[in-house]
Amino acid sequence: MKDKLLLTPSMEDYLESILNMELNNNNVKIKDIAKDMNVQMPSVIGALKNLRGKELVVYEKNSNIQLTQKGKTIAITVKERHEAIALFLQNIFLFSEQEAQKMACQIEHVIKPETAKQFRNLTTYLNTNIIEKTETKENWIKIINSH
């Protein structure tokens, strides 16, 4: 039974994409997911059927796609991991937003939610207690980029 909920990184990405559209009050359609994820519509249909089989989405041909409560819970967890990592990479390691988002999308699938929370806590601590108080931005850049 536990294997039934085993999700691939791709499945997690689909859930996160659907969640983001739902949060923006959009009706979620196959073409919108395909555009958001830069994949073909048949790939989206296959993923939706798989996610429906795991009871994570409500999907019927020619209707809006919705997350089930279970799907929404997983999608929120994935989104929170993504945001924590992206924030850390952007604010602490000084990556551009685009670079941080791209890396976060890869890392989010291999860390536990607790680890993401630690990333978020460390980012907040470093921003509040070190970067903003004791170091100028230029000094922080030197520290991060020194070898």
**In which band, very low, low, confident or very high, does the pLDDT at 83 lie, cut at 50, 70 and 90?**
very high
Q: Given this model, what pLDDT does residue 106 score?
A: 92
The pLDDT mean for the chain works out to 89
**Which one-letter amino acid corresponds to residue 19?**
L
Domains of the chain listed by start with CATH number: 2-73 (1.10.10.10), 79-145 (1.10.60)
Mean pLDDT of 7-34: 94
Q: What is the pLDDT of residues 105-117, one digit of tens each?
A: 999 999 988 999 9
- Distance of alpha carbon 52 from alpha carbon 118, whole angstroms: 32
Structure tokens at 1: 């039974």
pLDDT of residue 2: 46
Spell out the alpha helix ranges (H) of 24-96. Answer: 30-37, 41-53, 69-91
Q: Indicate the pTM of the whole model.
A: 0.84
Type of residue at 32: D
Query: pLDDT, tens digit, for every residue of 39-80?
Result: 999 999 999 999 999 999 999 988 899 999 999 999 999 999
Q: Please, which pLDDT band fits residue 4 given cuts at 50, 70 and 90?
A: low
Tell me the mean pLDDT in the region 85-98: 92
CA distance 45 to 93: 37
Give yes or no for residue 5 having a pLDDT over 80: no
Asked if 48 and 57 touch (Cβ cutoff 8 Å), the reply is yes
The helix/strand/coil state of 37 is: helix
| pLDDT at position 73 | 97
The answer to whether residues 28 and 21 touch, using CB atoms and an 8 Å cutoff, is: yes
